[in-house]
Structure 1
Amino acid sequence: MTKMIFVNLPVADVAASTAFYTAIGAEQNPMFSDETASCMVLSDTIYAMLLSHEKFASFIPGRTIADAKTAVGALFALSVDSRDDVDATIEKVARAGGTADATPVQDHGFMFSRSFADPNGHIWEVFWMDPAATAGDAATMAVSAA
């Protein structure tokens, strides 16, 4: 069975967050969406669950929801097929109201990445890696990236 990932994100406004993710190319799965949650399909195996603060809190009793605009608890990275796709994704983000280049642009030749923050402050990195580099020695790639 293919493994899937569901990234659960607390959001201030489910409808506004759904509109943002739709604008950058995600599709909503209505079967798992209502006024408290929106299931956004990023790929066949990756989903972002946009949850109202109340719904998100129900999964973490006794813990506080971090404000992603002031603290970072996670950084999510999504691969794309080309350097141009990295730039095109960040352009969509900027048009949709997200923050482009929320962290410094990284260009290591064999790997190129840019990031964005969604309207709730969650940071996503969009990256391309040369397929020829992935066939090489991982230790060599790590040294050349440093």
Structure 2
Amino acid sequence: MYQQMIFVNLATNDIDATKKFFTELGYEINAQFSDESTASVVISDTIVVMLLARSKYAEFTKKEIVDSTKHSEVLIALSAESREKVDELVDRAIAAGGSATGETQDHGFMYGRAFNDLDGHTFEVVWMDPAAVEG
């Protein structure tokens, strides 16, 4: 079966800082699709976050580019394999210069926390008990 991919494109103010931030979270930067105006962050085999300098991002839209530190443009939710992995990723994001956002969500069968990256983009990290997903 064909595995469809998703490429999330986000504007960033500082490519070098963004590359460092996501590398510190444990993600790979795909050098083949990265340059001085683009950071291609590999989240998984099917998910890539393309962080583009604001001038590069502007080449793809006629719309005003939001200031993501003041306005919400998108909430990106990432799954985690355990509650501990949720905490690990969010804690690493904070240590790398990101900030915690929102309240910890603990519903027993589902656990989540969120962080903002250096540009204010919100990433929610969520674990769900596989037994609860199965029904």
TM range (shorter): over 0.9
Per-residue displacement from partner, 1:73-103 (whole Å, max 9, x unpaired)?
1100000100000011111111101002x11
Structure number with bigger Rg: 1
User: Any idea what the Cα deviations from partners look like across 1:87-142, whole Å, max 9, x if unmatched?
Assistant: 11111111101002x11111111100000000100000001000000011xxxxxx
RMSD: 0.7
Q: Tell me, in whole angstroms, the C-alpha distance in 2 between the residues paired with 1:89 and 1:38.
A: 19
1:130 maps to 129
Q: Which amino acid aligns with 1:93?
A: A
Identity of aligned residues (%): 46
**2:93 & 2:25 partners in 1: Cα distance?**
6
> CA–CA distance in 1 between the matches of 2:41 and 2:24?
11
1:87 is matched with 87
Alpha-carbon distance between aligned partners in 2 of 1:72 and 1:104, rounded to the nearest angstrom: 17
Q: How many pairs were matched up?
A: 134
Given the two structures, how large is their TM-score scaled by the length of structure 2?
A: 0.97
Runs of 5+ in structure 2 lacking a partner? none
Counterparts of 1:51 and 1:90 in 2: how far apart (Å)? 23
Return the alpha-carbon distance in structure 1 between the equivalents of residues 47 and 114 of structure 2: 18
Name whichever structure is richer in strand by fraction: 2
**Structure 1: which 5+ residue stretches go unaligned?**
137-146
